[in-house]
Structure 1
Amino acid sequence: MELSCKSEYAILALLELASQYQNGEPLQIRQIAAQQNIPDRYLEQLLATLRRGGILRSQRGSKGGYLLAREPWKISIYEVLICLEGFDIRTNEEEVKPKTPDSSVIEEVWQEARQAANVVLQNYTLADLCEKRDARKQLDIMYYI
């Protein structure tokens, strides 16, 4: 279970959009890319996928760009990963070989770990990640006398 570069970039972009959600102004790809250090062309593809998945909406025109389709507290990280990767952590079962008692036990534990990961991802929203990020930024601010 590992976070792909694609998913990481997409979540970073979504955090940028979630941070700007209250002002209601769309962000352009180049703005998001510059803030999060993501290649423009790659980000364009990711945002198009998220738009098709109903996580983002786009606005045309000179002041156009991308906005979250819903409130940040209503978009789970699990939903984002499903949209981008097309599957959840449970899928990876290409087992054709017969199961031994040993392999069955290992598979059961692995399945339990996958289910736990899915629960965690379902419980975190974009708003939660923004709060965690802001709290971490506050901790990083130190004054030396």
Structure 2
Amino acid sequence: MELSCKSEYALLALLELADQYQTGEPLQIRQIAAQQNIPDRYLEQLLASLRRGGLVRSQRGAKGGYLLAREPWKITLLEVVSCIEGLEGAASEEDATSKTVESAVVREMWQEAVAASHAVLQNYSIQDLCEQRNAKQQLDIMYYI
């Protein structure tokens, strides 16, 4: 399993918005894009998806932009990835009844892997990412002193 570019960019954008959460000031797309090296047009589409998913909200006007819809510690990584990638739909009847024992075993193992990845993503929030980033930045600063 890989982290898609879409999900990575969405998480990076949410990290930027989390940094501004306490101030209550919205960030414009160009600010987020410049800070995280994300193409503006692509980020615009991602933020629209995140807005539809209820993870961010937009504010219009000259000082408009995007804000987190909830506190950073209340937004799980699973919510973000599910919003961007879409939830895996229920298997169709044809898929559910495997044609061979081998395909049934493969399907069961795959479902176990998906469940494990969902459990890990559910355990981390945007706030956790912010804290881990800040800790790594502090280590880098200490290393260069």
TM-score by length of 2: 0.89
Other structure's SS at 1:58 match: strand
- After superposition, where does 1:99-114 map in structure 2 within 5 Å? 99-114=99-114
Partner of 1:42: 42
Other structure's SS at 1:22 match: coil
Partner of 1:19: 19
Cα distance in 1 for residues equivalent to 2:42 and 2:136: 28
Partner of 1:63: 63
Q: CA RMSD in A?
A: 2.0
Other structure's SS at 1:27 match: coil
Q: Matched residue pairs, number?
A: 143
Task: Letter of the 1:12 partner, please give it.
Answer: L
Partner of 1:124: 124
Q: Offset at 1:96?
A: 7.5
Task: Letter of the 1:104 partner, please give it.
Answer: A
Other structure's SS at 2:22 match: helix
Q: Offset at 1:101?
A: 3.0
CA shift digits 1:63-117 (9 cap, x unpaired): 11000000000111111111111114x8677738844333333322222111010
Other structure's SS at 2:58 match: strand
Which ranges of structure 2 fall in alignment gaps of 5 or more residues? Answer: none
Cα distance in 2 for residues equivalent to 1:4 and 1:84: 10
- Asked if 1:6 corresponds to 2:6, the answer is yes
- Asked if 1:139 corresponds to 2:139, the answer is yes
Other structure's SS at 1:95 match: helix
TM-score by length of 1: 0.89
Distance verdict in 2 for CA 1:98–1:56, change over 3 Å: closer
